[in-house]
Structure 1
Amino acid sequence: MLQAQSADVSSGLGIYFPLVVMFVLAAGFAVFSALLGPLLGPSRYNRAKFEAYECGIEPSPQPVAGGGRVPVAYYLTAMLFILFDIEMVFLYPFAVSADALGLFGLVEIFLFIATVGFAYAYVWRRGGLDWN
């Protein structure tokens, strides 16, 4: 009886063997590609390759002469855009299945829009949308 149980466990784990082989092959290919690329790739280095890339034009000087710091407002605006953009993406599934959700879906989406609206009003009142 004990032998039959161990056979069941080993055969149950055997179904994962192809998956393990796939992961090993993928990891091997990734390591092989990462190591072989610099060896076989072109090695023509010049000053332009080590410069920061800014859409094909000459790199601009740093925003502040002393340290090159970027204003925090830039990052906050970008984060707020991403936040509200992702929240609005959640409205698309509701638009597709509005008939199937009925009154429950309508109440839930109203609460969602109200929450996003309160967050938007809070950020607006705090000056997070003002570009200085």
Structure 2
Amino acid sequence: MNEEKCKRTMDGYRWRCPVSKCRTTTSIRKGSLFEGSKIRLTQLVMMIYLWTIDVSQRQIAFEAHVSKRTMVNWTKKLRKICSVEMERRGTLIGGISQGVALEKKGGLGGKVSTIFRDNCS
């Protein structure tokens, strides 16, 4: 598949099969976490970037021009993806005699913190 510009799609691009007899087209979102979303890719990328640098959901919603509810839903989706990937990889956090602070963010930026300390040697 080759990427090509397409004014009829929300993002302005689509995939097209280069074989002249085929020429099938498909969304550039197909098979990705963006499939099915009605939000522009530029907004989604901005939301994900701001989320990774720990910007509040309220501020992300404002900057990306999406509703707070949309941001809450995407935050849940991103957290789920991260936790599944960490479990799949067997990623451990902390270590022997290392304190680990786990932070859970409430709905629109409210924070509740829990601290776990591993004092085993």
User: TM-score normalised by the shorter chain: which range applies?
Assistant: under 0.3
The structure having more radius of gyration, on CA atoms, is 1
Q: 1 or 2, which has the higher strand percentage?
A: 2
Higher RCO (C-alpha 8 Å, min separation 6) = 1
Structure 2 length as normaliser, TM-score?
0.25
Q: 1 or 2, which has the higher helix percentage?
A: 1
Structure 1 length as normaliser, TM-score?
0.24
